[in-house]
Amino acid sequence: MNKDDYIKAFRRMAMEQLDAETARAITSVLRSASPRSIFDELERLRVDGKIEGKDFEKLLTDFFWLFCY
């Protein structure tokens, strides 16, 4: 998977699990922010329990190791 694939997957998960307003905000972040900022924002949502699931956690972890560090 390349970075765009990860972004698309994150967007899909955000749309599925978040309310419309938050999902819009996150989509905007996904579109324009740096990989680390994207990670931090999604990590915050994960810690707050707003996006969950093992798939999401694995995706976020891989995204960090491949693009953020």
Smallest distance from other proteins to CB 60, Å: 8
d(C-alpha 22, C-alpha 49), whole Å = 13
- What tokens does 31 get? 């579109």
Smallest distance from other proteins to CB 22, Å: 21
Helix (H) or strand (E) holding 67, with range, is none
- What tokens does 29 get? 């972040």
Residues that bind other proteins (CB under 8 A): 34-37, 39-40, 43, 58, 61-62, 64-69
Residue closer to other proteins by CB (options 15, 66) is: 66
Residue closer to other proteins by CB (options 3, 24) is: 3
